[in-house]
Amino acid sequence: MDPRDHLVQRFRAALAAVEPAAAVRAHLAWDGRELRCGAWRHEVRGQVVVIGAGKASAPMAQAVEALVGARITRGVIVVKHGHGAPLTRIVLREAGHPVPDADGVAGATAIEAAVRGLGPEDLVICCLSGGASALLPAPRAPLTLADKQEVTRQLLASGADIQALNTVRKHLSRLKGGRLALACAPARVLTLALSDVPGDDLAVIGSGPTAPDPSTDAEARAVLLRHLDPTRIPAAVLTALAADLSWTPKADDALFTRVHNAVIASNRLALDAIGADVVAAPLAGEAWQAAERFCAQAAAAPPGTLIAAGGETTVTLGDDPGRGGRNQEFALAAARWLARTGAPVTLLAAGTDGNDGPTDAAGGLVDSSSWARIAARGVDPERALRRHDAYPALQAAGDLVVTGPTNTNVMDLALAWRA
């Protein structure tokens, strides 16, 4: 089989393994009276409210509807524009990602209304996946949506990793960092989560809306000052975080005795489905550097070796960035390394959600000829890499990976075939 076709086939196998509806069906059981998720049990006596957010939350909600059906009282799910799916008993809302927008505020407000006034016999099922942090902007008073948008834009451009970004988000929100669980109290809460973060940390997935938060206002402020120019941070944000209040509930809060959080799919599951001969260290750090490390490992492997890795890299943008995303930058940097070395390696790097940065591509698929083919079509690949403008460069060579929205999200995957 052609190496490119082989890598695409293996990538699609990984996506199939983390299909959200199938993950819900594998973990949730209902006998008409009792709902079960692993060792967790709940006899349904009161209302059942379904809420959630994230790029995969619509198919997750579909599976919950198919299972629990008429027992659902009401529900609200917020997804990224274009990531919807038909629902019957649950209201679907679409909103902006990765920078939050007014549609997200409306969705967050609708979720708050859906869980308001519940009692101890009621149950909230929360469908949570990557993207939820941006899709549920509920600014902490007196902050505004504009404050959150500005901070998000700056952090996304700074190279801050997801842990740092979500630490800040939790302390600027009414719903993140366990505060959604607080809004649901005294109802019981079952959260089904698709993990898009390293280590499957429930406090980081979607900024942990139903998980205890180990971080503080002071730590969130320190993240901002470490990554951003203090003169560009909205004054209201710094003022809010200066109070160092116990804004988010902690692990010792009795609230969490009535909350069960379950990770039902992850990057590890996707990696296992690839069937690689070698699973490399998790992807992390600047995309171009991670690409060179991964290429070097692939090149050193015996012929006929399939290597895979999962994780999430970062890109520190300059003042005039082009179009692309971290996977496209990873692929373009890999193309440069392969061109320089002539290594007989074909590489695919893509986001499992089908969206890499603010583009319609999931990533890139390159080999040692890609760099020259880009240049032959009139695009300077070195300049494109320097300007974080990987999309038009890969597009020129026909090396983009375009899947459309996959409706799942378990971070990124890199695959390499050593011929």
Alpha-carbon span 118 to 169, nearest angstrom: 26
- Over 70: is that where the pLDDT of 353 sits? yes
pLDDT surpassing 70 at residue 184: yes
What is the per-residue pLDDT for 246?
81
pLDDT in the model for residue 244 = 65
Reading the block at residue 92, the tokens are 């679907």
% of the chain surpassing 90 pLDDT: 92
pLDDT digits (tens, 9 = 90+) for 103-122: 999 999 999 999 999 999 99
Instruction: Annotate 187-250 with DSSP letters as a single string.
Output: SEEEEEEE--SGGG-TTTGGG-TTS-----HHHHHHHHHHHS-GGGS-HHHHHHHHT----S--
Task: Indicate the range of 10-24, 120-134, 309-323 predicted with least confidence.
Answer: 309-323
Instruction: Provide mean pLDDT across the span 24-46.
Output: 97
Mean pLDDT over residues 128-143, rounded? 94
Q: Check residue 320 and give its pLDDT.
A: 80
- How many Å apart are CA 49 and CA 72, to the nearest integer? 6
Question: In the structure, what pLDDT confidence band is assigned to residue 349 with cuts at 50, 70 and 90?
Answer: very high
Ranking 119-133, 155-169, 296-310 by mean pLDDT, the lowest is 155-169
pLDDT of residue 280: 97
Choose among 133, 135, 205: nearest CA to 171.
133
Quickly state the pLDDT bin for 348 (edges 50, 70, 90): very high
Q: Tens digit of pLDDT for each residue in 235-266?
A: 999 999 987 678 999 999 999 999 999 999 99
Residue 155 backbone phi and psi in degrees, to 5 = -70, -40
Confidence of residue 338 (pLDDT cuts 50, 70, 90): very high
- Alpha-carbon distance of 381 to 386, in angstroms, equals 9
The answer to whether 344 and 418 are in contact (CB under 8 A) is yes
What would the two tokens of residue 97 be?
């990602």
Q: Percent of the chain, pLDDT > 70?
A: 100
Burial class for 176, CB neighbours closer than 10 Å (0-12, 13-18, 19+): buried
Q: What would the pLDDT profile of 44-84 be if each residue is shown by its tens digit?
A: 999 999 999 999 999 999 999 999 999 999 999 999 998 89
